Structure 1
Amino acid sequence: MTDGTEASTRSDEGGATAGTSGLSGRLWVALAAVALLALLGVAAVVAPESSVGRLFGVIVSTSTLAATLRLSVPIVFAALGGIFAEKSGVINIGLEGLLIISAFAAIYGTDVTGSLLAGFLIGVLASTALAGLFAVVCIEFRADQIIAGLAIWLIALGLAPFLSQVVYGGPNTDSVDTLGTWTVPVLADVPLLGAVFDAAPPVYLMFVAVAAAWYTLNRTAFGRWVRASGENPRALDTAGVDVSRVRYAAVLLSGVLSGFGGAALAFNIGQFTGNGPTMVNGKGFIAIVAYLFGNYNPVGALGSTMLFAGLDAVQLRLQTQQILGVPDALVQTIPFVAVIVVLALVGRTRIPEAAGDHYESGEE
């Protein structure tokens, strides 16, 4: 295990050097965001009834924070799953498909069993099973990981609405109960931040998952194996650790975490809708952007997701209040344009050295 740990440490040190410019870019983005918010705050104090003042009021409102947290849940869980998979050397761009299949399975499972908890677990199992199929195809049969990931997405995109059509007679399922909210007395009454303490259970679970993922990757033997598997699988193999098993475990974990995200998304509205891109609507692909922007750090992925989800929450409010006086179609593009600009400013993210490469024990 010493060789594998040393390989992981060396690669992490190299990544720190290679990612210095990226870190600087992220710092500039953060400073620019804080400065812009401060300017809006000053303008709001000077002219509270102006468009700028009303915009600032929307941004710092409790309802916007609550919506941000709610919108972040499926993206964060999928991003955490993507981090584990890609850190191990398997690029899983099928996160969108895992969210789709788990969202449908969670609603169907709840409808059949009458239990939200059972439905939640069924959604996680469905996502894990699909991730297992992806793992077998990529690790055992050495398929191209990008093509296999796209196939997983397309399978789920067609299968979930089809099953809904068979069972419910349409692409949308029947409605089930939602999870409701857990309220922490006193803390829930704090202005703005009270939204954190008056949220649905998946929001609390999201913060726990981020902390657990960070600890697992950075403070456990399994985390070291995952990092070594994605950076120097030969050294890990030499240390006596089965690289394939580590990668299988990481990909299955991506299925579990994405299952949590898809089930939480479905229970947020109490229904699966399969029209068009389905209710998931690109959240799996946004998760990929989130963990790349977060530099494969669970905490960074949470922060980048909150940025996107916050902008998404703001644009939803702006559509109802007509503060900016611009067409809704233009307002809807705000989160996506911001993500493109941010990625352009941040620069290149260093991916794991062996990501996308196949490895078989004993290879030279």
Structure 2
Amino acid sequence: MSDADVLPRFVRDHRRALTLVVLLLAALTIVVTVVPGGRQTVTDVSGVITASYLASAFRLTVPIAFAAIGGIFSEKAGVINIGLEGLLIIGAFTAIVTLHFLPETTAIWVIWSAFGIAVIASAFVALLFAIVCIEFKADQVIAGLAVWLIALGLAPFASIIVWENVNSPSFVTFSTVSIPILSDLPSIGRLFVATPPVFMLIVAVPLAWYVLNRTTFGKWIEASGEDPKTLDTAGVSVRKVRYAGVVLSGVFCGIGGAGLALNVGQFVGSGETMVDGRGWIGLTAYLIGNYNPVGAFLASFLFAGLDALQIQLQQIAGYDVSSTLIGIIPYVAVVVVLAFIGRTRMPSSAGEHYESDE
């Protein structure tokens, strides 16, 4: 193929994505040239995108992206887990309530103990969900909704029992960690100063991709969701693989929920709790990412970036951006992105119960 053919082929293969880019550029041009005050608005928005803004976006990405990665493992294994929101709530509440019963000290083992117990609690709830779906063959969507609704009601109720309020008092938080040399760089050094969950996410994304695409276990996960009969014939227990995928979703959600709570040192149980829809956005993120951990992370970062942008714009005089409006943008974005990029292909046997011939 000649070099002259490369560009036309690229255009054909990515015409929907390129169309979306062109439309976004056209919309930006209209805002700048036609809309009154548009140029100033674009200038103001671009002005808040600094290293501090990006660091804030990374921090806000933690619960969304971990929930998304957990959802990928569960659904690729064949079990649809829409209870990610509930698992995040379990992780967040358990982390803070554990701090309540541990000695009041800033010792590092205290916060890491709370973090570990939160992950175990979320994984345990995910295990119960797996038992209901795999052993008792319950409807996976209904069971996932039950996990969410139970966590949404139980965590604030337990908060009232422990603290006589749906919101906990403040506890110790994660200390920031700096990467030597890089954190001292001018302008961008702030990007290399973050709490441990942020660095854990940076490691988890490529690790999850590697496990799913380059290991035998990853092949089992994919086969369990695509063709469980073949996996069973090969002598691998579909049941065990699905249990592993669901429990891993609990582990990842536990990390995300605990990271969210321990970054602020408090559990907020009012309204939709402090999780505030991040599990649902995580589900949206892995659909946009087409079950790829890297794509799911990028989508999560986009949504977190919009949230961080809303916070930054509130600090600019003359702007009053509704947080409710910002909250619906991820759901509008998924419709737009999926319309232009292409359809998400679910695993063939996701949501279907499998009975071994043995």
Provide the TM-score with structure 2 as the length reference. Answer: 0.87
Q: What letter is aligned with 1:72?
A: T
Query: Hey, what's the Cα distance between the residues in 1 that align with 2:338 and 2:288?
Result: 7
Give the distance between the partners of 1:63 and 1:49, measured in 2 at CA: 23
Q: How does 1:1-364 map to 2 (within 5 A)?
A: 24=14, 27-28=17-18, 31=21, 35=25, 50-58=40-48, 60-114=49-103, 115-190=110-185, 193-322=188-317, 324=319, 330=325, 333-362=328-357
Distance (whole Å) between structure 1 residues aligned to residue 224 and residue 70 of structure 2:
16
Rounded Cα–Cα distance in structure 1 between residues aligned with 2:87 and 2:210 = 24
For residues 107-155 of structure 1, the C-alpha deviation after alignment (integer angstroms, 9 at most, x for no partner) is 1112212410110011111101110110000000000000000000001
1:29 touches 1:346 (CA, 8 Å); kept in 2? no
CA deviation after TM superposition for structure 1 residue 185, in Å: 3.3
Greater Cα shift, 140-149 or 191-200: 191-200
Q: Distance in 2 between matches of 1:297 and 1:57?
A: 32
Task: State the identity %.
Answer: 54
Instruction: Call closer, same or farther: CA 1:29–1:128 in 2, change over 3 Å.
Output: farther
What is the identity, as a one-letter code, of the residue corresponding to 1:209? Answer: A
Equivalent-residue separation in structure 1 for 2:323 and 2:17 (angstroms): 31
- Matched residue SS, 2:315: helix
After superposition, the C-alpha distances for 1:245-274 in whole angstroms (9 at most, x for unaligned) are 000011001000100000000011110010
Can you list the C-alpha shifts for 1:226-246, whole angstroms capped at 9, x where unaligned?
A: 000000000000000000000
Deviations 1:293-343 (A, max 9, x none): 001000001111111111111111112214556666545655554444334
Counterpart amino acid of residue 56 in structure 1: S
Contact 1:73 1:265 in 2 (8 A): yes
- How far, CA to CA, are the matches of 1:259 and 1:161 in structure 2? 17
- 3-state SS, counterpart of residue 248 of structure 1: helix
Which runs of 5 or more residues in structure 2 are unaligned?
1-9, 104-109
Q: In structure 2, how many angstroms separate the alpha carbons of the residues matched to 1:276 and 1:48?
A: 35
Equivalent residues of 1:25, 1:347 under 8 A apart: no
Whether the 8 Å contact between 2:314 and 2:321 is mirrored in structure 1 is no
| Cα distance change of structure 1 residues 137 and 327 upon mapping to structure 2, 3 Å threshold | closer
Number of the residue aligned with 1:15 = none
* Change over 3 Å in CA distance of 1:360–1:176 after alignment to 2: same
- Work out the CA distance in 2 between the residues paired with 1:296 and 1:148: 21
Cα pair 1:319 1:331 within 8 Å, conserved: no
Corresponding residue for residue 5 of structure 2: none
Deviations 1:81-129 (A, max 9, x none): 0000000000000000000011000011122124101100111111011
Q: What does residue 6 of structure 2 align with?
A: none
How far apart are 1:174 and its partner, in Å? 2.0
Q: Decide whether the 8 Å contact of 2:77 with 2:245 is kept in 1.
A: yes
Q: After TM superposition, give the deviation of residue 189 of structure 1 in Å.
A: 3.8
Using the TM superposition, give the Cα deviation of residue 25 of structure 1 relative to its aligned residue in structure 2, in angstroms: 7.1
C-alpha displacement of 1:180: 2.0
Q: Which residue of structure 2 lines up, in the alignment, with residue 13 of structure 1?
A: none
Aligned to 1:10: none
Counterparts in 2 of 1:328 and 1:95: CA distance versus 1, 3 Å: closer
Task: Kindly indicate whether the alpha-carbon contact (under 8 Å) linking 1:178 and 1:268 is maintained by their aligned counterparts in 2.
Answer: yes
Would the aligned equivalents of 1:128 and 1:252 in 2 still touch at CA under 8 Å? yes
Q: Distance in 1 between matches of 2:62 and 2:127?
A: 23
Query: Residue type matched to 1:95 in 2?
Result: L
Distance across 1 between alignment mates of 2:244 and 2:328: 37
Q: CA deviation at 1:64?
A: 1.4
Q: Give the Cα separation in 1 of the matches to 2:352 and 2:253.
A: 23
- Listed as ranges, the gaps of 5+ residues in structure 1 are 1-19
